[in-house]
Homo-oligomer: A and B are copies of this chain.
């Protein structure tokens, strides 16, 4: 039998729904997530809700205390900062692994295609169009592709973990300046270049720099916004 796309259970779709809501900020930090109200809201029984809550807690989005249930976790600026640095370290390691093993031709083409998409967006200025969605897709595709090519479930899981902290994953591009976009994509080019050249050291360095700079930009702008 061939592996199918994996049917989705109710628990899983509930977990997705709740994850999206939390990251979107629908629930206040520290708010209780109770089984019965959520079950009624979603029109299911407590069982799948319980399982979803457990998943989210393992992801680090909720806090759990035995017999006392789940609460939405709070994230400090320091949490966000560390999450960016952790993500930088993990994706940096991924880039180094890729440089060490050399890419296949197909993989090179895939990355080149993503880079071209970015080039095109920058050239005609359309990266600023409708909520940056095209840029956001390009950026996500780039990072996801590299992580996938690194082909390590642990690395993917860890990188995902670092992104369960709000802001760290979304790419808060609304805070980016024109130069920020250009620099960011320049990094993408340098990362791919180093990987293709088989230079693990430089691939890791550029990726770390790329993610860390994104973190600094976002944090700085966010703190301004909070004033």
A111 contacts B by Cβ under 8 Å: no
A210 contacts B by Cβ under 8 Å: no
What is the CA–CA distance of A78 and B155 in the complex, to the nearest angstrom?
Answer: 12
- Hey, what's the 0/1 contact readout for A150-161 against B, CB within 8 Å counting as 1? 001111011001
Q: Is the CB of B158 within 8 A of A78?
A: no
Main SS class of interface, A? helix
In the assembled complex, the CB of A99 is this many whole angstroms from the nearest CB of chain B, namely 14
The stretch of A2-10, A33-41, A113-121, A185-193 that contacts the partner chain: A2-10
A86 contacts B by Cβ under 8 Å: yes
In the assembled complex, the CB of A209 is this many whole angstroms from the nearest CB of chain B, namely 15
Chain B residues positioned under 8 Å from A184 (CB to CB): none
Q: Is the CB of A154 within 8 A of B79?
A: yes
Chain B residues positioned under 8 Å from A79 (CB to CB): 152-154
A201 contacts B by Cβ under 8 Å: no
Q: Is the CB of B66 within 8 A of A82?
A: no
User: Do A157 and B65 contact each other (CB < 8 Å), given the known contacts A85-B93, A90-B89, A152-B82?
Assistant: no
The stretch of A21-29, A52-60, A171-179 that contacts the partner chain: A52-60
Chain B residues positioned under 8 Å from A104 (CB to CB): none
In the assembled complex, the CB of A216 is this many whole angstroms from the nearest CB of chain B, namely 15
Chain B residues positioned under 8 Å from A92 (CB to CB): 89
19 extra interface residue pairs, beta carbon distance < 8 Å, beyond A54-B55, A79-B154, A89-B93: A7-B67, A8-B66, A12-B66, A50-B51, A51-B54, A55-B58, A79-B152, A82-B152, A82-B154, A83-B154, A85-B93, A86-B90, A86-B93, A86-B154, A89-B89, A90-B158, A154-B161, A157-B161, A158-B158
| A residues whose Cβ falls under 8 Å from a Cβ of B | 6-9, 12, 50-51, 54-55, 58-60, 65-67, 78-79, 82-83, 85-86, 89-90, 92-93, 97, 152-155, 157-158, 161-162, 165
Q: List 17 A-B contacts (CB under 8 A).
A: A7-B66, A7-B67, A12-B66, A51-B51, A51-B54, A54-B54, A58-B58, A60-B153, A60-B154, A78-B152, A79-B153, A82-B97, A83-B154, A86-B154, A86-B155, A86-B158, A158-B162
